[in-house]
Amino acid sequence: MSQQCATRYPLVLVPGMLGFIRLVLYPYWYGIVSALRRRGAVVVAVKVSPLHSSEVRGEQLLVQIQDILRQTGAGKVNLIGHSQGALTARYAAARRPDLVASVTSVAGPNHGSELADYLRIHYPSDRAKGRLLKALLWLINALMNLLETGYRGPKLPVDIQASHESLTTTGVALFNEHYPQGLPDTWGGQGPEEVDGVRYYSWSGILQPGRTDRGRNLFDGTNRSCRLFARTFVREAGQCDGMVGRFSSHLGTVIGDDYPLDHFDIVNQSLGLVGRGAEPVRLFVEHAQRLKAAGV
């Protein structure tokens, strides 16, 4: 077996909103976990509350980190979070930097999501449209729980309103006041590479006409959803992946922010149906090599 991705500490993959480990045989991190393991990495995909605040999810993640450390004998972990999973990982690292070697944000809304802002304005929770959206999310989560085969822990709490507010620009601004580690000082800039002994990294993508709407994305319904969601963006119009803006994603060392990847492509969803020239699995493999070279 190759050891090119054999990092010093385990890689812990943290999913975003409505995240899971595996639905029947279908994994969240499609093709990514197997690619890393073939190259010598110790990889653990975890599950936290699919619909809840980043702080509650972060506390759940801390419990699982300690379990992973006991099981592996490692001293720390490398956290890689997709979407809200990035905020979840940031919380854990800020609270217990002694347990975390690095945090990597993959399409993380580190300054909030304009899509979440749009939904708060146009689908308020006290109106019929808002209640309908909340019911739809509850049903999706219930169905996914029935199909989940990768998680064997305790029942996870759900708070749809808290989940939504945690992703708005206002909600994330409040989060950032308490947990600023790794954030850039200027909009669109890079953050510090290391804070409290924890290394911070990020990468993200943007919708690119002629690339992200071509190739296998022609058969991927999630890409169509992202192109629709992108219409809600104002500040980062034309510079988003459908759910997260390019500069809003910045954290620590910015590896790249304009890959031809929508918000689902970036974790090789759905079923590896991605746009022309996109190689999301390669980004994870290269990052594991980067972490290994950094000694973590």
Q: Are 223 and 270 in contact (CB under 8 A)?
A: no
Place of tokens 């399409």: 107
Q: What is the rounded CA–CA span in Å between residue 88 and residue 12?
A: 12
Q: What is the rounded CA–CA span in Å between residue 33 and residue 30?
A: 7
Whether cis (ω within 30° of 0) applies to the bond prior to 270 is yes
Q: Are 103 and 90 in contact (CB under 8 A)?
A: yes
Instruction: Return the active site residues.
Output: 83, 241, 263
Instruction: Give the CA angle between residues 276, 280, 281 to the nearest 5°.
Output: 125
Q: What is the rounded CA–CA span in Å between residue 246 and residue 211?
A: 17
Q: What is the rounded CA–CA span in Å between residue 134 and residue 50?
A: 13
Q: What is the DSSP letter of 265?
A: G
Within 10 angstroms of residue 243's Cβ, the number of other Cβ atoms is: 24
Structure tokens belonging to residue 232: 């809600």
Which residue blocks in 76-152 are alpha helix, DSSP H?
A: 84-95, 114-122, 128-147
